[in-house]
Protein backbone atom coordinates (compact mmCIF):
# COMPACT_ATOMS: atom_id res chain seq x y z
CA UNK A 1 0.00 0.00 0.00
CA UNK A 2 1.08 3.56 -0.70
CA UNK A 3 -0.13 6.57 1.29
CA UNK A 4 -0.32 10.04 -0.23
CA UNK A 5 -0.24 13.12 2.02
CA UNK A 6 -1.91 16.26 0.68
CA UNK A 7 -2.20 19.89 1.67
CA UNK A 8 -2.85 23.11 -0.25
CA UNK A 9 0.47 24.51 1.01
CA UNK A 10 2.83 21.86 -0.43
CA UNK A 11 3.24 19.23 -3.13
CA UNK A 12 1.76 15.79 -2.50
CA UNK A 13 4.03 13.29 -0.74
CA UNK A 14 3.70 9.53 -1.34
CA UNK A 15 5.20 6.97 1.05
CA UNK A 16 5.09 3.25 1.61
CA UNK A 17 2.16 2.42 3.88
CA UNK A 18 4.15 0.91 6.76
CA UNK A 19 6.40 3.98 7.03
CA UNK A 20 3.48 6.39 6.66
CA UNK A 21 1.46 4.67 9.38
CA UNK A 22 4.46 4.64 11.71
CA UNK A 23 4.96 8.38 11.15
CA UNK A 24 1.25 9.05 11.69
CA UNK A 25 1.39 7.23 15.02
CA UNK A 26 4.48 9.23 16.02
CA UNK A 27 2.43 12.37 15.32
CA UNK A 28 -0.16 11.17 17.82
CA UNK A 29 -2.67 9.99 15.21
CA UNK A 30 -4.31 6.57 15.15
CA UNK A 31 -2.73 5.66 11.82
CA UNK A 32 -6.08 5.41 10.06
CA UNK A 33 -5.96 5.76 6.27
CA UNK A 34 -7.70 7.84 4.91
CA UNK A 35 -7.90 10.63 7.45
CA UNK A 36 -6.81 14.21 8.11
CA UNK A 37 -5.43 16.69 10.61
CA UNK A 38 -7.17 20.04 10.92
CA UNK A 39 -5.05 23.14 10.42
CA UNK A 40 -5.21 24.06 14.12
CA UNK A 41 -3.77 20.64 15.09
CA UNK A 42 -0.92 20.56 12.55
CA UNK A 43 1.68 22.43 14.70
CA UNK A 44 1.21 20.02 17.62
CA UNK A 45 1.43 16.99 15.31
CA UNK A 46 4.61 18.42 13.77
CA UNK A 47 6.14 18.99 17.19
CA UNK A 48 5.36 15.42 18.30
CA UNK A 49 6.83 14.01 15.08
CA UNK A 50 10.01 16.07 15.39
CA UNK A 51 10.47 15.00 19.03
CA UNK A 52 9.94 11.34 18.11
CA UNK A 53 12.42 11.58 15.23
CA UNK A 54 15.01 13.18 17.52
CA UNK A 55 14.56 10.25 19.93
CA UNK A 56 14.91 7.75 17.05
CA UNK A 57 18.16 9.45 15.99
CA UNK A 58 19.48 9.21 19.54
CA UNK A 59 18.64 5.50 19.72
CA UNK A 60 20.17 4.80 16.30
CA UNK A 61 23.39 6.57 17.28
CA UNK A 62 23.61 4.48 20.45
CA UNK A 63 23.09 1.27 18.46
CA UNK A 64 25.78 2.23 15.91
CA UNK A 65 28.28 2.65 18.74
CA UNK A 66 27.50 -0.86 19.98
CA UNK A 67 27.57 -2.68 16.61
CA UNK A 68 30.80 -3.48 14.78
CA UNK A 69 31.08 -1.78 11.38
CA UNK A 70 30.59 -3.91 8.30
CA UNK A 71 31.83 -2.18 5.15
CA UNK A 72 29.99 -4.68 2.94
CA UNK A 73 26.62 -4.04 4.55
CA UNK A 74 24.66 -1.09 3.17
CA UNK A 75 23.17 1.07 5.94
CA UNK A 76 19.37 1.17 6.09
CA UNK A 77 17.49 4.37 5.28
CA UNK A 78 16.77 5.99 8.63
CA UNK A 79 13.31 6.97 9.78
CA UNK A 80 14.57 10.56 10.03
CA UNK A 81 15.42 10.56 6.32
CA UNK A 82 12.09 8.99 5.42
CA UNK A 83 10.23 11.56 7.54
CA UNK A 84 11.90 14.64 6.04
CA UNK A 85 9.41 15.19 3.17
CA UNK A 86 6.47 14.82 5.58
CA UNK A 87 8.07 17.22 8.06
CA UNK A 88 8.49 19.78 5.26
CA UNK A 89 4.84 19.29 4.24
CA UNK A 90 3.68 19.77 7.84
CA UNK A 91 5.85 22.89 8.25
CA UNK A 92 4.34 24.40 5.10
CA UNK A 93 0.81 23.51 6.22
CA UNK A 94 1.41 25.02 9.66
CA UNK A 95 2.86 28.19 8.17
CA UNK A 96 -0.15 28.68 5.85
CA UNK A 97 -2.72 27.30 8.35
CA UNK A 98 -3.87 24.47 6.04
CA UNK A 99 -5.39 21.07 6.76
CA UNK A 100 -3.37 17.92 5.97
CA UNK A 101 -5.10 14.89 4.47
CA UNK A 102 -3.87 11.45 3.49
CA UNK A 103 -5.27 8.52 1.53
CA UNK A 104 -4.14 5.24 0.06
User: Rounded to 5 degrees, what are φ and ψ at 49?
Assistant: -65, -45
The Cα 87–Cα 104 span in angstroms is 19
For the chain, the helix, strand and coil percentages under 3-state DSSP, each to the nearest 5? 55, 20, 30
Question: Mean pLDDT, to the nearest integer, of 73-89?
Answer: 88
Tens-digit pLDDT profile for residues 39-62: 999 999 999 999 999 998 888 777
- Please tell me the predicted confidence (pLDDT) of residue 37: 96
- Does 72 score more than 90 pLDDT? no
Count of structural domains within the chain = 1
The domain containing residue 43 runs over which residues?
A: 2-68+75-103
- Please tell me the predicted confidence (pLDDT) of residue 16: 95
The Cα 88–Cα 96 span in angstroms is 12
Q: pTM for the complete prediction? A: 0.86
Amino acid sequence: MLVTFKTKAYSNITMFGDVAIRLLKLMGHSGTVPSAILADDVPAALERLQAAIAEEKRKAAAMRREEPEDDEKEPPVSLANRALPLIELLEAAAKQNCDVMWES
